[in-house]
């Protein structure tokens, strides 16, 4: 798994590439939290378009970043979730809690 981010005028987008599972979720959490803490964006976007596999660890990753964003005062949006990511978000009902933007 790889994470890349871009910051532009109060908006940070973090792109996740590869699989989100229990083997790499801890490292992803640490990287994403550092990005949020460093950038202090107004809006934080988590782009999941290149996620090839996502289990419940991915769900925990998203939920935890929602809490992190709330603590620093920014909004969280999941952007372009892959089929694998969207499936786990829908099963958990996260599509009713977190803003999800598709098709950019």
Residue 82: the pLDDT is: 96
Sheet holding 2-8, edge to edge: 2-8, 11-20, 43-54, 75-79, 99-101
Q: What is the pLDDT of residues 13-39, one digit of tens each?
A: 999 999 999 999 999 999 999 999 999
pLDDT number for residue 104: 54
pLDDT value for 3: 97
- 3-class SS of residue 98: coil
pTM exceeds 0.75 for this model: yes
Strand ranges in 1-104 using DSSP code E only, listed in sequence order: 2-8, 11-20, 43-54, 75-79, 99-101
> In the CATH hierarchy, which top-level class contains the domain 2-101?
alpha beta
Q: Which stretches of the chain score pLDDT less than 50?
A: none
């Amino acid at each position: 798994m790889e994470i890349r981010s871009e910051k532009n005028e109060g908006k940070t987008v973090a792109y996740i590439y590869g699989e989100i599972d229990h083997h790499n979720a801890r490292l992803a959490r640490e990287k994403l939290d550092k990005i949020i803490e460093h950038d202090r964006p107004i809006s934080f976007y988590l782009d999941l378009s290149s996620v090839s596999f996502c289990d419940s660890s991915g769900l925990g990753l998203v939920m935890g970043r929602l809490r992190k964003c709330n603590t620093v005062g920014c909004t969280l949006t999941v952007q372009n979730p892959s089929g694998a990511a969207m499936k786990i978000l829908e099963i958990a009902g996260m599509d009713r809690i977190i803003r999800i933007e598709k098709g950019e």
